[in-house]
Amino acid sequence: MKKFLIIANWKLNGNFNFIDKNINLIKEKINNSLYFCNLSIAPPYVYLNYINNLLKKTSISLTAQNVDIHIKGSFTGEISIKMLKDVGVKYVIIGHSERRLFHNENNNFVSKKFFLIKKYGLIPILCLGETEEQKKNNQAEKIVIKQINDIIENNNIDILNKIIIAYEPVWAIGSGKNANIDEIQKIVLFIKNYLISLNTKIVENIYFIYGGSVNNSNIDIFFKKNIINGFLIGKASLEAEKFISLIKKTKKYLVN
Ligand code: PEP
């Protein structure tokens, strides 16, 4: 069975006080009982190295919220995959709807990042999902398949080996309105079946996680069906006590 994965996406939040408080609490309260899941923290870039040092001797890993499509050169303000590797990053989030929306990142651009992440041996967390409008027009399946196809077409199907696909309906992110388990199941199964039709083995090595307003009050619904291998969590990862309680609730479902 795949080990459950929880990624805390801090987005544009945090400072040294916040980090010390949050990481210390997590280490103190749950580090020793994290055998049931892989926990990873995605802070803003500038804190990656500092947090990497705090996380030494723990099982908690580091995730980057983004990466550039270049390795080095005159690209002011950008950070390369090699730099992320240097500071101990394991996973890299790409295709997040906030980057698609606020930074005009399209599927083609995301596929270039995907290729580099794989080339340098890190693990992409490929975010995909439909907007509210697309959902209303019954286009969710079409949209997620297009998001995947553009990766495959620019590379090839084997590039999907050992990756994470985060189904994140855009309307659910930061809105307090989570997708229900049937909606998640419908899309995840649709993606799985599509991938199986291309390569029978590939899905065995893909993690399917869900993101979009997961919190302490709705966490139970995601375990009503055995469909996802983890969560990408934004807002609810920003308060250490609540985040720890969410991880403990998750444990209840995973450890009998
Ligand atoms: C996200 O930004 O990936 C996310 C899931 O955010 P939130 O949990 O706040 O909806």
Domain limits, the chain: 4-254
* Candidates 70, 168, 183, 204; catalytic one: 168
Q: Give the contacts of 45 (CB within 8 A, at least 6 positions apart).
A: 64, 65, 66, 79
Write the residue with the smallest CA distance to atom 1 of ligand 1.
Answer: 234
Displacement of CA 51 from its chain's centroid (Å): 18
Q: What is the dihedral of CA 45, 49, 54, 58, to 10 degrees?
A: 90
Residue nearest (by alpha carbon) to ligand 1 atom 2: 234
* C-alpha 234 – ligand 1 centre gap (Å): 4
Helix axes 16-29, 240-254, angle to 10 degrees: 30
Which of 213, 215, 216 maximizes ligand 1 atoms within 8 Å of its Cβ, making it the mutation to test the pocket? 213
Q: What is the pLDDT of residue 197?
A: 96
168 in catalytic set = yes
pLDDT value of residue 171: 97
Nearest-atom index, ligand 1, CA of 98? 2
CATH architecture observed for domain 4-254: Alpha-Beta Barrel (3.20)
The rounded Å distance from CA 11 to ligand 1 centre is 9
**Ordered per-residue pLDDT tens for the chain, 256 residues:** 689 999 999 999 999 999 999 999 999 998 777 888 999 999 999 999 999 999 999 999 999 999 999 999 999 999 999 999 999 999 999 999 999 999 999 999 999 999 999 999 999 999 999 999 999 999 999 999 999 999 999 788 999 999 999 999 999 999 999 999 999 999 999 999 999 999 989 999 999 999 999 999 999 999 999 999 999 999 999 999 999 999 999 999 988 6
Mutate which of 217, 235, 242 for ligand 1? The one with the most ligand atoms within 8 Å of its CB, which is 235
**Residue whose CA is closest, atom 6 of ligand 1?**
234
What residues does ligand 1 touch, defined as CB less than 6 Å away? 9, 168, 173-174, 211-214, 232-236
User: What does the alpha-carbon distance between residue 2 and residue 202 come to, in Å, rounded to a whole number?
Assistant: 14
Taking the CA of residue 214 as reference, the ligand 1 atom at the shortest distance is: 8
- E-assigned strands of 88-239? 91-94, 123-128, 163-167, 206-211, 230-233
Place of tokens 């997590």: 26
What pLDDT was estimated at residue 36? 87
Substitution site in 66, 164, 165, 168 for ligand 1 pocket (most atoms within 8 Å of beta carbon) = 168
Distance (Å) from CA 73 to ligand 1 centroid: 32
